[in-house]
Structure 1
Amino acid sequence: MKVGLMAMMMAGLLASGLAGAAEKTPQQEKMTMCNQHAKSQDLKGDARKTFMSECLKKDSKLSQMSPQQMKMKSCNGEAGDKKLAGDARKTFMSQSHAVNYQFTVDLNDLPQRQPVKKTLGEVEVLLIREGDNVRAYQAKCPHAGAPLEQGAICGDRLVCPWHKAAFNLASGKMCEPLALADLKQYPLRIEEGRVLVNPKAMSPAAPIGSGAAAPVYVVLGGGAAGSAALWRLRHEGFKGRVILVEREADAPYDRTALTKFVPSGKMDISKVPQLLKADVMDHVERLQARVSRLDAQQQRLIFEDGETLAFDKLLIASGASPVRPDLPGSDLDGVHLLRSKAQTDELLQAVDASHKIVIIGNSFIGTELASALRNRDIDVTVIARQALPFAKQFGDQIGRYFYQLHEQNGVKWVQGEIEALQGDQQVSGVQLKGGRLLDATVVLFATGVKPATDFIHDLPLAEDGSLQADEQLRVADNIWVAGDIATYPSAQGPLRIEHYRVAHQQGQTAAWNMLGQTVAFDRVPFFWTTQYATRYEYLGHATEWDDFQLIGSLEDKKFMAFYGQQGKLAAICSCGMYTLTAELVERMQQPMTLAEAVALGQEQIR
């Protein structure tokens, strides 16, 4: 009956001489208006026919509304469904009302709790369905652009496949770094089983705090931990002063690029990403200075120039400094350390001039640099006391794999201990114990780091120079610590972890506690290393193990190595299983048996 009514009215309009009319009849005006309504709602098929029939009825209220009014009515209804009020409602209405919703997918074609990427013109969105609710977020991780459709949904979180940033499913808010940003969310509605998305992202609802003169929170150090703390303080709405004390003018930036992308030639050093955007840094005071002493009792920092800075609360995130071994000739020209952009730039200029380098130490920094430089066909020799790289962390089998990987790519391995570096002012060679002399005009020490705590004299330091914190990362009243200088309690005993993501996580946890939220740091450690354009991952922390199981193929770069202790899973070394490791980094927050983890890996690796 409804379809018949519409057909009769359309026939009547055609019979009225529509093609040659100078002015539209009332019936024609109504038809045009109803068509505009249907178009504004992206209605098609039977849904469009039904709507047109109702709209064309003589007394229909719909036919008396303009398309803009129709859209406003729909947006108001959606804002009510979302229980939005105040500024949040205004923001939603202004953005949802501005752009037409676009049909994206049928609801029945969306799987439950599985991220799905869709493209709307030039905009990629990620759809996540839970029951009959669907949310739309940006499709790439805001940290490094990882494809989030390859991520894992764990509980109420979406975990990035690459660097394991985690976002709340309901809001898109960042829960775990590395991303120091929330996910952009797109307005979405469901009509007649069709998912419609507005490709204009919603503005963030939460304002960033700033403004008041007190209290004063100081973050000492602009690395990973300090940056995460700054982000969290402001995004939690802290209204007082936030002061970053940092000796490098261009910090905070992503130091991981200095051993991965910059030496390989894939990234110019001027393009190293900043860790924090202007929306945070515009609300942070910067003080470029070197601290000579912390006065914990008086709650102040004393700088090398004699100036002081009082604080109400302090986060010490000064990081670690590369070790220059106490060897004859270690201070010659041409002998380098690597931590900052300036040091990296100086090293690479020397390498470009000589086309050769000797790296002392087979640490992750040393091997990543070796890998990156081989990409530019630089002659690389690595000297180390150990026969195999990473054997202490991963065991002999995985260590041998990395040894052979570098050897196949042209790295020359030399096992031995350094006796001295030869040269007058400029280094010319590396002398090994036993008499062997290697020519070298460019040398890098990659022999580890030490906590940067030389300025701390009135707080107890551990034997390695780190600060012993409680589970909330507090070391004294109103003083917290995070990153490479932090030793914290764990089920395995006191731990100090020199991982980039752990530093981010600790900075965030410390910020929460500075704000009085009482949050314990208990996250599963995770790090990754890039060797010859392939990312290898490590989850957990195993200082020793009594069981080792390897599944998959080392040669195909798709494997998982499991480390067990008394039947429990202690750690995983993995490659090519990024979605599963995104799931496991969350699941390992609760104890897992080795058998359970291996079974999960075998199921996924086939």
Structure 2
Amino acid sequence: MLTDYTEEAVCKVDDLKDGELKDVRVGDTDVLLARVDGQYYALYPKCTHYQAPLSKGMLHGNRLVCPWHNACFDVRNGHRLEAPALNGLPTHEVRIEGDQVMVRLTTDKESMENPMATPDPANTTTCVIIGAGGAGAFAAEAMREGGFTGNILMLTSSDHAPYDRPNCSKDYLQDKAPDEWMPLRSPDFYADYGIDIRTGQRVTSLDPQTKEIEVSGGEGQATERIAYDKALICSGGKPNKLPVPGVDLKGVQVLRSLTDSQQLRELGKEGKRIVIIGSSFIGLEAAMSLRKLGSSVDVVGMEAVPFEKILGERVGKVIQGWHEKEGITFHLGRNVKALEGSDTVEAVVLDNGERLAADAVLLGLGVKPNTDFVKGIDREKDGSLRADETLQIADGLFVAGDIATYPTADGTQRIEHWKVAGQQGYTAGMNMAGNGVVYNEVPFFWSNQQGKRINYIGHAEKIDDVIFDGNPEQDDSFLAFYVQDGNVKAVAGLKRDKEIIAIRELMQADKLPSVETIRQGVDWKAELGK
């Protein structure tokens, strides 16, 4: 009898314990096997975000967490639970025959969308999203996932629909990622789900009292007024300016968009002399990428050690050494006095009189919330908008991403991370669809520094002490625990992916061991299994 499927025995029933993962093959197809509460599940074995091997991640209950960027999936149905992945995991049929676990291939897709509603022309309710970054992209899909069938309109001043912004300082800037990798979704996807994306649209006003948005489409175009029933503000940040003479010269750039990355990439290929002002994560990722393209790169920073406030002096010096080994020159503890040039920038003058020749200057001085257009709502001191636990700031008005200040157990905080923006957008979108979802995620971000991925969880306003598991100067992997007010508030890790996952899951459950216990050493997988 002929069959139109492939099925094989992949292991014995007792081969895996609950919480264990195993890579197996069924025919010519790689499959991930997982066991939860005595039940076996078979799934596509790679994360749908960047194709990380999920067997290197961790299973906690039904939550399967990616080792690289902490995307999360439900092993029972493959659904995506957390950003930065947009798609879920295809699943295969599993059955038990005697003492054998049998897996039958039931799909050849590499990813799947979470179940989503399609638009209903009879539903005239309008939800507007201001911003097309990670928060906006996840919010639009969350509304459909949450059952909303009305109109979804996304307004962005960008020339592009949502794209993979973190890659703009990494592989894309290095010319290792083609243009087709960058969009988060195809135009057909947005058309199929009735998500209307209008690019080149600058929002000039949002009035929460009248629920009306004013939009300028550009020079020569009339102002348009759009009424909304519900709206999400996820307009992101605008780059901080450098208050010195010469900042308006040609060749002075920022790195906030796909277009910025494209322009910098061309400069890098030409081997230009580039000075980066600001030793931030994005600044040093750009330094890495431009150096790989063949440019000479100087980095100017006000701090004595890069990342000292976030990662501590010791880790910061180690990262600085990685970059110096690749030929990047640092000028730290310095301020910029002026930029020189007749029409195009030619030099950067430091406060000690040093003059750095430059064909281009990249400003990496951070951002401030882009919220000036919002009327009638008080802003925080930094310009952000304060939300409640559902990310709502007024009737029918929500906020997510870089501009959102939200409540935590320790007070309020604002986080500028891609995963956080995506997850906040998802939460806001579900709530706009009428679902009561609370945002209480432990922050996570990653940074690629000279090919080494640093993962960071939690949030520390200050560092009182650092506990190390491993030696950053000598070991190829380490964990750094950041202590604030007698508690570990954040953790950074290099090549300690499973531990980072376990620690984040414990943080999320408010079950992190005490500082004293962590000093003595912890088996994190065992701790998570308690």
1:523 to 441, 457, 482: 441
State the AA in 1 paired with 2:480: A
Contact 1:567 1:595 in 2 (8 A): no
- Residue 23 of structure 1 corresponds to none
Give the letter for the 1:210 counterpart.
Answer: P
Change (3 A) 1:245 1:329: same
The structure showing larger relative contact order (alpha-carbon pairs under 8 Å, at least 6 residues apart) is 2
Residue 594 of structure 1 pairs with residue 515 of structure 2: yes
Q: Distance in 2 between matches of 1:209 and 1:586?
A: 34
Shift of residue 100, structure 1, vs aligned partner: 4.1
- For the pair 1:392 / 2:304, whether they are aligned, the reply is no
Give the one of 167, 177, 185 matched to 1:257: 167
Q: Is the 8 A contact 1:334 1:350 kept in 2?
A: no
The letter for the 1-side match of 2:115 is A
Q: Pick one of 339, 350, 355 that aligns with 1:437.
A: 355
Structure-1 separation of matches of 2:442 and 2:211: 32
The residue correspondences of 1:3-22 to structure 2 (distance < 5 A) are none
Q: CA deviation at 1:516?
A: 2.5
Q: Percent identity?
A: 35
Give the TM-score normalised by structure 1.
0.80
**Aligned equivalents of 1:204, 1:395: Cα separation in 2:** 40
Q: Between 424-433 and 234-243, report the one with greater CA deviation.
A: 234-243
What is the alpha-carbon distance in structure 1 between the residues aligned to residue 114 and residue 389 of structure 2? Answer: 32
Which residue is equivalent to 1:562? 481
Q: Does 1:194 align with 2:100?
A: yes
1:550-598 deviation per Cα after TM superposition (whole angstroms, max 9, x unaligned):
1213233300011123442211111001112122211111142224445
Task: Report the CA distance shift for 1:147/1:354 in structure 2 as closer, same or farther (over 3 A).
Answer: closer
Distance 2:153 2:496 in 1: 40
TM-score normalised per structure 2: 0.91
SS in 1 for 2:14: helix
Instruction: Give the secondary structure class of the aligned counterpart of 1:370.
Output: helix
Report the CA distance between 1:340 and its aligned residue. Answer: 0.9
The answer (yes or no) to whether the contact 1:189–1:197 under 8 Å persists in 2 is yes
Q: 1:311 to 1:569 in 2, by over 3 A?
A: same
Could you list the runs of 5+ residues in structure 1 that have no partner in the other structure?
1-35, 41-67, 69-97
- SS across alignment from 1:167: strand
Structure 2 counterpart of 1:469, from 361, 383, 387: 387
1:329 and 2:246 are equivalent in the alignment: yes
How far apart, CA to CA, are the structure 2 residues paired with 1:324 and 1:249? 22
Aligned partner of 1:487 among 405, 426, 431: 405
Q: Give 2:269's aligned residue.
A: 352
Matches within 5 A, 1:234-249: 234-249=144-159
User: Taking structure 1 as reference, are residues 382 and 207 closer, same or farther at Cα in structure 2, changes over 3 Å only?
Assistant: closer
2:504 maps to: 585
Q: Secondary structure at the match of 2:177?
A: coil
Q: Is 1:351–1:442's contact at 8 Å kept on the other side of the alignment?
A: no
Q: How does 1:352-431 map to 2 (within 5 A)?
A: 352-415=269-332, 416-431=334-349
The one-letter code sitting in structure 2 at the alignment partner of 1:271 is E
> Aligned pair in 2 of structure 1 residues 258, 111: CA closer, same or farther (>3 Å)?
same
What is the aligned length? Answer: 510
In structure 1, C-alpha distance between the alignment counterparts of 2:330 and 2:525, rounded to whole Å: 35
Q: Is the 8 A contact 1:469 1:489 kept in 2?
A: yes
Question: Is the 2:503–2:524 Cα contact (8 Å) retained in structure 1?
Answer: no
Q: Is the CA contact (8 Å cut-off) linking 1:159 and 1:167 kept in structure 2?
A: yes
Q: Deviation per CA, 1:187-231: give whole Å up to 9, x if none.
A: 121111222222222987835332234211111111011111112
The reply on whether 1:135 has 2:53 as its aligned counterpart is no
Deviates more, 1:428-437 or 1:193-202: 193-202
Distance in 2, matches of 1:227 and 1:495, equals 22
CA distance in 2, matches of 1:251, 1:469: 26
CA distance in 1 between partners of 2:113 and 2:134 (Å): 24
Change (3 A) 1:599 1:235: farther
- Structure 1 pair 351/115, CA: closer, same or farther in 2 (3 Å)? same
Per-residue CA deviation, residues 380-408 of structure 1 (Å, 9 max, x unaligned), is 10011111000011111111111222112
Q: Which residue of 2 aligns with 1:290?
A: 202
* Aligned match of 1:151: 57
For 1:109, what is the secondary structure of its paired residue? coil
Give SS of 1:139's match: coil
Name the CA distance, whole Å, in 1 between partners of 2:437 and 2:156. Answer: 26
Distance 2:143 2:520 in 1: 41
Indicate the RMSD between aligned Cα atoms, in angstroms.
2.1
Which SS does the other structure have where 1:188 is aligned? strand
The structure with more radius of gyration: 1
> In structure 2, do the counterparts of structure 1 residues 354 and 204 end up closer, same or farther at CA, with 3 Å as the change threshold?
closer
CA–CA distance in structure 2, aligned partners of residues 428 and 536 of structure 1: 34
- Answer 1 or 2: which has greater helix percent: 1
Report the CA distance shift for 1:205/1:328 in structure 2 as closer, same or farther (over 3 A): closer
Report deviation, 1:361.
0.5
- Tell me what 2:120 maps to: 211
Cα distance in 2 for partners of 1:156, 1:200 equals 21
Q: 2:173–2:264: 8 Å Cα contact kept in structure 1? A: no
Find the counterpart in structure 2 of residue 172 from structure 1. Answer: 78
Query: What is aligned with 1:33?
Result: none
What is the match of residue 104 of structure 1?
10
Q: 1:534 aligns with which of 428, 452, 458?
A: 452
2:68, 2:521 → 1: CA distance?
19
Cα deviation for residue 601 of structure 1 reads: 4.9
C-alpha offsets along residues 465-511 of structure 1, whole Å, 9 cap, x if unaligned?
11111121111110000000111112222211111111111111111
Alignment partners' CA distance in 2, 1:218 and 1:383:
40
Structure with greater strand share of residues: 2
Q: After superposition, where does 1:542-553 map in structure 2 within 5 Å?
A: 542-553=460-471
**1:47-98 CA deviation, whole Å, 9 max, x = no partner?**
xxxxxxxxxxxxxxxxxxxxx8xxxxxxxxxxxxxxxxxxxxxxxxxxxxx5
